[in-house]
Amino acid sequence: MSKSREQHCKNEAWVIDGPLPRDRMTPASQASPSWLQHLEERVIAGGDFWRLAEELRHEKTQSEDPAKIAAQAIPFVDIVYEMLRIAIRTGALATGTPLIEAEIGDALAVSRTPVREAMQRLSADGLLSRRKRGWEVRKLDLVQIRESYEVRMALEGFATAQAAIRASEEEVASIVAATTARSELDFDNISDRLTSNRELHGLIFAASGNERLVSAIRKNMQYYFAHRFAQFVSREEAALFQQQHEAIADAIAVRDPAEAELIARQHVKSTYLAFEKFYKLL
């Protein structure tokens, strides 16, 4: 790779799209039960958050061994936090939506104490803001969103480079296979597109071999609006994203970290520009 391209890679402020795996997360996320992952996947696919939350909570209490549930010892505040974070991140709770602690507690069948603590954590994350009575989902301006994407550029670009260095042969094969599988998807099947995108980027980030890095990436991915954004993306943009995915997979396969990071940043810029157009229509 030429020095000019390396310098270009360093100077450009680009970002990368894509959701994360749930199998290599920080301790707090590792504690999240599988039904939360299931909830997120179904909400991303376009399901109604509150109906699905009730269904999955019922499924959990009816189908799992009570001793197993007790052994997991997942604090209510963590469950409420994760559920609301999912709802906000996927757009199920739109920006500006008012949230009342008592109403949230009733909807999720928990007391107000864990709801209050969860909302305070979400406020610290920048997802909620105080109002006269309760909270509301915070609306970020485009500058804040761009800043978030720039952080993703730094974290995810580095993770992609590390994957080119550290990935096992099995991980490389999985990344290549996942990339190839994406090329065969029906453009109109948004659920499949989102799932495959999630899996591909998850494989790449996990292959970085750095769980703290993966945790930091996930922490920064607060606003995604996955399903609505995927509906907005044009066929031409989707084709470009796939070309970039293939170039990233190729760079990882030949163990070229500089090239992998550069293409990831190009992919990021393309994604941000598409998201910028989408955001202006919200």
Q: Are residues 11 and 85 both part of a single domain?
A: no
Domain endpoint, select from 82, 111, 137: 137
Which pLDDT belongs to residue 111? 86
Which pLDDT belongs to residue 53? 66
Q: Are residues 148 and 115 both part of a single domain?
A: no
Which pLDDT belongs to residue 280? 84
State how many domains the chain has.
2
Mean pLDDT of the region 64-68: 52
Q: Are residues 272 and 183 both part of a single domain?
A: yes
Indicate whether 45 pLDDT > 80: no
Q: What's the first-to-final CA gap in the chain, in angstroms?
A: 40
Counting residues of the chain whose pLDDT is more than 90, the rounded percentage is 41
- The residue segments making up the domain with residue 77 are 27-137
Indicate whether 181 pLDDT > 90: yes
Which pLDDT belongs to residue 81? 87
Mean pLDDT of the region 142-155: 89
Which pLDDT belongs to residue 74? 62
pTM above 0.75, yes or no: no
Average pLDDT of the residues of the chain: 79
Closest CA to 249 of 185, 196, 156, 174: 174
Per-residue pLDDT band for 243 (boundaries 50, 70, 90) equals: very high
Domain endpoint, select from 105, 137, 169: 137
Indicate whether 139 pLDDT > 90: no
Q: Are residues 275 and 146 both part of a single domain?
A: yes
Indicate whether 33 pLDDT > 90: no
d(CA 155, CA 163): 12
What digits encode the pLDDT tens for the residues 74-92? 677 887 888 888 788 777 7
Name the one residue in this structure whose structure tokens are 């990436």. 217
Q: 137 - beta bridge partners?
A: 128
Q: Are residues 116 and 152 both part of a single domain?
A: no
Name the one residue in this structure whose structure tokens are 């996320």. 29
